[in-house]
Structure 1
Amino acid sequence: MLTTIEPFQLADLTQIGTGLNRPECVLAARDGSLYTGDWTLGIAHIAPDGTTRPAVDTDLVGQGFRPNGIALLPGGDFLFANMGRAGGVWRVGRHGDARPFAIELERHPLPRTNFVLVDGDRLWITISSQARQHEHFRADEDSGQILLVQNGEVAIAADGLNWTNEVRISPDGSFLFVNETFACRTTRYEVAADGSLSNPVHINYPGDTYPDGMAFDAEGALWIICVISNRLIRLAPDLTWTALFEDFDPVELDRVASAHAGGCLTWDDIAQSRGSRVSNLASLAFGGPDLKTVYLGGLGIEQVQVLRSPVEGMPMEHWR
């Protein structure tokens, strides 16, 4: 039985880190460090005391990289999904240049990638949109993909998705969950032993709910954070969900939702949307010594937001 969690209040938010630029993906490490993709620092390291500095020596942004989703490998290297022109997924150590990790599919260059997840010996990558040249974010956009990397090979695991964002594997390894942001839904796939995906089930949200980042707690519930509405959802194993937090201007959210429903939502619409305290929350991670600290990154904030949870999170691959 799941623990009942009372909704969080704005006063519950604290902050850590300084001067971040679009901290889209937050990773919490065992030693209390946080890491985020950052379009000034490349990959940012936030120490437990809040001190913020680059996590790697090389100037990723100056070389044209735009790290979005990031993952930690066992030896301490990072993988990053690159929203820069070169696209693909790249590997970089604390010292030394970035080098290609997954940059081609069937001899064709990978486009800009959104997210990367380490899953044992496998790796999952999302591509939000094949072209990313569109002017509008639409509910009927269907060129998103999930890629699977195993045994050195890159293959399409699922396609025809809408603005594919973060993915997570359920604690028992049976399911893969993916957020389809502008379809306003989370999709659950069954995962076979060979990594193939089947039997998609859609969890549909209201038209003003745009799921982006997510993380599992120790009770098997999936916490999902939404851009624009800054809404935090807890999705139970039975696929029912409750809202735990939100911060938005009702008039502004209605305007954005109307533009989205009409097929004319632009990046400027999204970027200008703000709550009273936060803007475009997009990522979450459980961390801290008891795994009960929730860290929230976002597109329109300069610090990582922090909440304390009554339930602990499920440790990610790099904790194991």
Structure 2
Amino acid sequence: MSITYVVPASFSTVGSGLSRPECVVATATGDVVASDWRGGVSIVRSDGGRVETRLALNSPISLRPNGISFTAARSLLIAQLGDCGGVWTLAPDGTLSPFLTEIEGAPLPPTNFAIEDECHRTWISVSTRQYPRQLAWRPDVADGFVACVTQAGARLVADGLHYANEVRLDPSGRFLYVVETFGRRLIRYPVDADGTLGARETVVHFEYGFFPDGFAFDVQGGIWVTSLVSNRVVRVRADREIETVETAFAAGIMAREHLGRIPGTTLQHVTSLSFGDHDRRTVFL
């Protein structure tokens, strides 16, 4: 499969002073919402980059947001990466309430991502059952999973994943796509109406040094994928061609220092992206 780099038409900063903006969600108005490690979200307004914060009020937990997404009711689903794990709902007034904190009788580990689809099913990814999570930053640990929450309750629908990261349905609603960061894969499953998944299929196995993290679909059906460490963004075309510390990972000794600051580059460990503005042709990283 051919590999070429995507060169953006322009690149500019729309917001600064954020606190670990692991996940970004762009809106049709041009506002950008980013997870905020202080316990909520930051909102970068489209009127010149003004930043507002929406932090949880009287939170019963030490909230450490990772993945975020809007519900149909315009509250925010927050994947809690703190020790207690789980998924929480942050209302516009700052009220924080538990959405899912255990599954099949066991507490949810630190949680990576959660998103509600158009059928009001919620998909949740947990990267690993290891604690601390760094124990899973290696090629021989694959204990991540995906859960689905419907009116009937919550259940595991995929297990044994190699560090499950962002998860979302494709625009058709027929397939659930999942990133396996340390499997270096983007995979998908056919989805039944009740949330049951069919046989997994590898969409693309990424090249040496590419550790996929977040992804989004563009208006042409392509899939844009961010990479940790190599600090790149690639586009997987609809026909699956790619437009585009490995040693520590292979040795099973990846640690925090391997994900430190990258000198000489504007982008720093790109983890998430979202398409926004009225035509969804502006990408926010």
TM-score, with length taken from structure 1: 0.82
Aligned-pair CA distance for 1:30: 2.2
Moved over 6 A (4+): none
Q: Is the 8 A contact 1:145 1:158 kept in 2?
A: yes
Tell me: CA distance 1:30–1:130, structure 2 relative to 1, closer, same or farther (3 Å).
Answer: same
- Structure 1 CA distance, aligned partners of 2:28 and 2:139? 38
What amino acid does structure 2 have at the position aligned with 1:170? D
> 2:115 aligns to what?
117
- Structure 1 CA distance, aligned partners of 2:114 and 2:19? 20
- Structure 2 CA distance, aligned partners of 1:93 and 1:72? 10
What amino acid does structure 1 have at the position aligned with 2:258? D
- Structure 2 CA distance, aligned partners of 1:200 and 1:98? 35
SS in 1 for 2:128: coil
SS in 1 for 2:43: strand
- Structure 2 CA distance, aligned partners of 1:172 and 1:76? 22
Aligned-pair CA distance for 1:134: 4.9
TM-score, with length taken from structure 2: 0.91
Tell me: CA distance 1:20–1:151, structure 2 relative to 1, closer, same or farther (3 Å).
Answer: same
Aligned-pair CA distance for 1:56: 4.2
- Structure 1 CA distance, aligned partners of 2:133 and 2:140? 12
Aligned-pair CA distance for 1:204: 0.9
RMSD of aligned Cα (Å): 2.0
Aligned-pair CA distance for 1:258: 1.1
Q: Is the 8 A contact 2:158 2:197 kept in 1?
A: yes
Gaps of 5+ in 2: none
Indicate yes or no: 2:251 matched with 1:262: yes
Tell me: CA distance 1:197–1:50, structure 2 relative to 1, closer, same or farther (3 Å).
Answer: same
Tell me: CA distance 1:207–1:151, structure 2 relative to 1, closer, same or farther (3 Å).
Answer: same
SS in 2 for 1:268: helix
> 1:200 aligns to what?
200
Aligned-pair CA distance for 1:75: 2.5
> 2:234 aligns to what?
233
> 1:76 aligns to what?
74
- Structure 2 CA distance, aligned partners of 1:178 and 1:46? 27
- Structure 2 CA distance, aligned partners of 1:134 and 1:86? 13
Aligned-pair CA distance for 1:57: 5.6
Tell me: CA distance 1:269–1:57, structure 2 relative to 1, closer, same or farther (3 Å).
Answer: closer
Q: Is the 8 A contact 2:23 2:66 kept in 1?
A: yes
> 2:98 aligns to what?
100
Aligned-pair CA distance for 1:207: 2.3
Q: Is the 8 A contact 1:228 1:274 kept in 2?
A: no
- Structure 2 CA distance, aligned partners of 1:274 and 1:186? 28
1:1-320 matched pairs, under 5 angstroms: 7-8=6-7, 12-40=10-38, 42-48=40-46, 49-56=48-55, 58=57, 63-120=61-118, 121-136=120-135, 137-151=137-151, 153-202=153-202, 203-243=204-244, 256-274=245-263, 276-296=265-285
Instruction: Indicate the structure whose relative CO is greater, using CA pairs within 8 Å and at least 6 residues apart.
Output: 1
Tell me: CA distance 1:32–1:41, structure 2 relative to 1, closer, same or farther (3 Å).
Answer: farther
Q: Is the 8 A contact 2:21 2:36 kept in 1?
A: yes
- Structure 2 CA distance, aligned partners of 1:163 and 1:274? 26
Aligned-pair CA distance for 1:271: 2.2
SS in 1 for 2:200: strand
What amino acid does structure 1 have at the position aligned with 2:274? A
Q: Is the 8 A contact 1:41 1:53 kept in 2?
A: no
Q: Is the 8 A contact 2:128 2:164 kept in 1?
A: yes
Aligned-pair CA distance for 1:96: 4.2
Aligned-pair CA distance for 1:164: 0.5
Percent identical among aligned pairs is 35
What amino acid does structure 2 have at the position aligned with 1:88? G
CA deviation map 1:155-189 (0-9, x unaligned): 10100001110012111112111110011111121
What amino acid does structure 2 have at the position aligned with 1:80? I
What amino acid does structure 2 have at the position aligned with 1:211? P
Aligned-pair CA distance for 1:131: 2.4
Tell me: CA distance 1:40–1:176, structure 2 relative to 1, closer, same or farther (3 Å).
Answer: same
- Structure 2 CA distance, aligned partners of 1:106 and 1:52? 40
